[in-house]
Chain A
Amino acid sequence: MSPDRKQFERAFEIIEAYGADKARWPDEERSLVELAIARSPELQMHFQVHKALDDQLNALEVRPRLNPEIIAQQIAAYPQRLSGAQWFQLQLERLTESMMAALWKPVFAASFVFLIGVGAGTVALEPVEDWSQAEQFSFAVIGEEASP
């Protein structure tokens, strides 16, 4: 793929993802997209389509209703140290999160390797020692204990 084509495709993707507002484009790629738009009528059209969508998104306004000052006063009345139950719940949440996020990969890898090892060992293992004498000894001991 030619560098121009690559640049075009990346600019297309960026407009599609972030819209037509340049402020939202990734800083390090902004100039690349601007250059590509200036060169390509197709990108200019793509830009206009997304500008229209941006205008509609801009029309949606949500006004916050909570009063930060009052809420801050109410919350600051709470003790800063966690209660025992809160602490326990937090540890439980963390444990779950870490198990879900980080622990499962190494655990999975270790179990996988272990299972491969057991599997390979079961298939390939051939006993090399002669255990027949040990067996005879143990039977002899059991026999002695059993006799009156």
Chain B
Amino acid sequence: MKALDEVELVALVTQGDSRAFAELAQRHLPAIETYARRLLADEAAAQDIAQETLLVLWQRSAEFKPEKARLTTWLHRVAHNRCIDLLRRQKRETMMPSDDIFARQENGVPGGLGGEAEGEVGGEESDPTATFSITSESTPEGNRAAMNAALRNLPESQRTALVLTYYQSLSNREVATVMNSSIRAVESLLCRARGNLKKQLESQQ
């Protein structure tokens, strides 16, 4: 398919053009999947959400308003809402633990116990699986593991702001749109997120 701009492709998708849809999937699915994986730290759930997001594009593309946001922002918002719903459901399950959740925790499967505190890092509800055991060795793998754990230990809103800005390369305005917040609030979340990461990494040295 020749290089069409995204607005034209979305218009074709609205008319049921599966080639245009495949082209948009090629452009956006990897970013949405990695976003959900970074946010949820659960590969299977992230893949489900990425596919649901594409399904929304297929069935509700007419709702996309190009004058309001770029397609990537719209898709990130759709995925973000689903990720947040899932995280909140997991949090509720943590409050009312069932046998299934305990089983998942025992088996070390992500998505079990591991809700996140909205407050500071290391709160009572912080991810209990996030440890920094590898940082004493200064290997690249050790550093990566420590950073991964530190990221997972961040409160949900701070992690979202950081991932969207840092890894998804959205502008501050777009991050604010995805998070339904203001630019100022996003900047404040980013400051706190980076500060918390630094603190966690320093405490391991």
Chain A nearest CB from B1 CB (Å) reads 12
User: Can you give 13 contacting A-B residue pairs, CB < 8 Å?
Assistant: A49-B198, A60-B147, A62-B34, A64-B33, A64-B34, A66-B47, A72-B25, A72-B26, A72-B29, A75-B58, A76-B21, A86-B59, A101-B180
Report the interface size class on chain A. Answer: 20 to 34
Among the listed stretches A17-25, A30-38, A122-130, which one makes contact with chain B, having 4 or more residues with CB under 8 Å of it?
A17-25
Considering only residues 1-40 of chain B, those with a C-beta below 8 Å from chain A are 16, 18, 21-22, 24-26, 29-31, 33-34, 37-38
Q: How many pairs of A and B residues are in contact by the CB < 8 Å rule?
A: 105
The yes or no answer to A56 lying at the interface (CB within 8 A) is: yes
Considering only residues 53-75 of chain A, those with a C-beta below 8 Å from chain B are 53, 56-57, 59-60, 62-66, 68-69, 71-73, 75
Please measure, in the bound complex, the distance between the C-alpha atom of A78 and the C-alpha atom of B47, giving whole angstroms: 18
The chain B residue with its CB closest to the CB of A56 is B147
Chain B nearest CB from A80 CB (Å) reads 6
Residues of A near B29 (CB, < 8 A) are 64, 66, 68, 71-72
Report the interface size class on chain B. Answer: 35 or more
A residues neighboring B (CB under 8 Å): 13, 16-19, 24, 26, 49-50, 53, 56-57, 59-60, 62-66, 68-69, 71-73, 75-76, 78, 80-82, 86, 90, 101
A71 adjacent to B201 (CB under 8 Å): no
Please measure, in the bound complex, the distance between the C-alpha atom of A80 and the C-alpha atom of B33, giving whole angstroms: 22
Residues of B near A81 (CB, < 8 A) are 59
A73 adjacent to B22 (CB under 8 Å): yes
Residues of B near A101 (CB, < 8 A) are 180
B172 adjacent to A76 (CB under 8 Å): no
Other than A64-B29, A69-B25, give 12 A-B pairs with Cβ distance below 8 A.
A53-B198, A57-B166, A60-B148, A66-B29, A68-B26, A69-B22, A72-B18, A72-B24, A75-B25, A76-B22, A78-B59, A82-B60
* Contact partner, B58, options A64, A78, A90, Cβ 8 Å: A78
A69 adjacent to B55 (CB under 8 Å): no
The yes or no answer to B191 lying at the interface (CB within 8 A) is: yes
Please measure, in the bound complex, the distance between the C-alpha atom of A101 and the C-alpha atom of B171, giving whole angstroms: 23
A17 adjacent to B187 (CB under 8 Å): yes
A53 adjacent to B194 (CB under 8 Å): yes
The chain A residue with its CB closest to the CB of B62 is A80
Chain A nearest CB from B42 CB (Å) reads 12
Residues of A near B167 (CB, < 8 A) are 62
Residues of A near B59 (CB, < 8 A) are 78, 80-82, 86
Residues of B near A73 (CB, < 8 A) are 18, 22
Please measure, in the bound complex, the distance between the C-alpha atom of A86 and the C-alpha atom of B59, giving whole angstroms: 10
* Contact partner, A75, options B55, B148, B194, Cβ 8 Å: B55
